[in-house]
Amino acid sequence: MFDSGELQAMSDEVLVDALRRAHGAAAFAQAAEVRAVRELYRRRREDGRRGAVAAGEFAGAEVTAAVLVGEQVAAALIDVGLGLDELPRTAEAFEEGRIDLARAQVIVEAVRDLPVEVLEEVEQTMVETAARSTPGRLRQTARRWAAKVDPGGEQRRREQRELDRDVRISALQDGVALFDGVLPAMGAQVVANRLRDMSAGVCAEDPRTVAQRRADALVALAAGETRLACGCGRGECAAGGEVSWPVLVQVGVSAATLAGSSEDPGMLAGYGPVDAALVRWIAEHARLQVITEPAAESTKAPEVWRAMDGQCRFPGCTVSAAECVIDHDPKTVGVQDDSGRDGVGGGLCAHHRRLRLSAIGWRVRRLDADRVLWTSPTGDRHTTVREGARYLFPHLDSEAPGVRIDTAATVSRTPQPGLDLTYPIAPHRLTHRHLAAPTPEDTASERPVQR
């Protein structure tokens, strides 16, 4: 829309108007994308139920293959599109660029449970408010209005929402993870107060901030501790004591890194790459299993397959291989076959194994011991490789940059957001539950399809 020279020549007022027009154009594009994924879902729904596949169940996977977003984002886009079918004024404002995806999502969620007889008036008011509100403020207003319009329904919605209670863990950058969840309001306060009390039980010499102690208290609590070990380092501290770690974690790492002759990262199962120093610290308390490269290429031992795969072999899926089913037919492992029904020769999470065995139009071809080619029903092609092998045997990571720096780069203290700014969808409660892609926490309990 504008090049840098044009923007630099604009007055402040014109620049802000340009920003507003650019945001409206982005909203228009978001609306077009929501309509497109909604139409794709509608077509897959018209295919009806076939075998073990619910109608439209894997439309989200097809969206993922087409535009390379996560399946949870794709499912949320479909769900918002379905909600807009019942909200013509919201859909119109969205398509005209007067509200964006984040605000359309707020309205869809706020009114989805309201009685039909009040929906028209409430929607119109919310659309007018959305045009002048941020998503956060609109959400507060919408919740207040919904409670006023339907107080009995608000209680039912709260009771229903409590059934969605859950906790989630997702990887961020630089060796940290985001831990969040949905708890009943009272339960959340109980947890918060418990963490506060544990974090306050250290001596005045503890160097950590309150926030850091609270985070450490959560980990200590999960590890079975009743108090937080003090970090002052003084042996005589009454609040001190070593914290034990009975929880099982799995890390894949090269022998050179473990020996200290290399700084290649390791792979923490369920998370991803972690730095060499952390790997070596974990190894001090770990039980080691040695996997040699020739053995890894020839064995069919499940633990070796999982260590080599690292993650589910479906494109974009980050479910740990520890939670996956080894998906192969012993008679066809190593055979190139594009029939789409032979095994991939590696691990698949329960969700994507169901897709491979049951979804119509997907084709899978194992190209060699490392690569698997996936082709979606609409022809998008994606190749996956054995992620874990690239940690165990770093020379296999042939596409990695060959340059190294001798000293650590300057690290900014600016927090790195975990939000996907391309698709700024807040955590979305799906009405159409079958659209949901599993997370590592879910997949261990999902029963895989038997061949």
Report the C-alpha gap between 400 and 387 in whole angstroms: 13
Mean pLDDT of the chain: 80
One DSSP character per residue, 153-218 reads HHHHHHHHHHTT-EEEEEE-STT-EEEEEE--HHHHHHHHHHHHHHHTSS-TT--S-HHHHHHHHH
The number of C-alpha atoms within 13 Å of 283 and in the hemisphere containing its C-beta is 21
In the prediction, which pLDDT does 436 show?
Answer: 64
Residues 285/363, Cβ–Cβ less than 8 Å: no
- pLDDT exceeds 80 at position 22: yes
Choose among 282, 277, 327: nearest CA to 305.
327
Average pLDDT value for residue range 323-341: 54
Query: Could you read off the pLDDT of 283-307 as tens digits, one per residue?
Result: 888 888 888 887 666 667 888 888 9
Query: What single letter denotes the amino acid at residue 48?
Result: G
Tokens of 429: 């409660």
Angle (CA) 154-429-32 rounded to 5° is 115
Instruction: Name the nearest CA neighbour of 252 among 224, 276, 231.
Output: 276
What pLDDT is recorded for position 241?
52
β strands within 250-399, DSSP E: 251-252, 266-268, 272-274, 325-327, 346-348, 363-366, 372-375, 381-384
**pLDDT at residue 420 above 70?**
no
Cα–Cα separations (whole angstroms), residue 394 to 42, 262, 290, 296, 380: 45, 10, 15, 14, 29
In tens, the pLDDT along 84-103 reads 999 999 999 999 999 999 99
> Of 345, 343, 346, 379, nearest to 362 (Cα)?
379
Model pLDDT, residue 180? 87
Report d(CA 394, CA 135) in Å as an integer: 45
Q: Which of 76-90, 249-263, 324-338, 351-365 has the lowest mean pLDDT?
A: 324-338
Q: Which residues contact 288 (CB under 8 A, 6 or more apart)?
A: 258
Count CB neighbours of 355 within 10 A: 22
pLDDT reading at 405 higher than 80: no
**pLDDT of res. 30:** 94
Which bin fits 401, alpha (ψ -120 to 50), beta or left (φ > 0)? beta
pLDDT at 408: 44
Q: Which residues contact 299 (CB under 8 A, 6 or more apart)?
A: 305
- Tell me how far apart the alpha carbons of residues 278 and 270 are, in angstroms, rounded to a whole number: 16
Give the pLDDT confidence score for residue 274 in this predicted structure: 84
What is the model's pLDDT at position 446?
A: 45
- Euclidean distance between CA atoms 275 and 265, whole angstroms: 5
Give the pLDDT confidence score for residue 410 in this predicted structure: 41
- Of 170, 212, 197, 202, which Cα lies nearest the Cα of 418? 170
Whole-prediction pTM value? Answer: 0.69
Give the chain's length. 451
| CB contact at 8 A, 366 and 345 | yes
User: What average pLDDT does this structure show over 153-160?
Assistant: 78
pLDDT digits (tens, 9 = 90+) for 110-132: 888 777 778 888 898 999 989 88
Whether residue 411 is predicted with pLDDT greater than 60 in this model: the reply is no
What are residue 267's DSSP bridge partners?
252, 273
Is pLDDT of 418 > 50?
A: no
Per-residue pLDDT band at 240 (split at 50, 70, 90): low
β partners of residue 325: 348
Identify the residue with better confidence: 416 or 33.
33
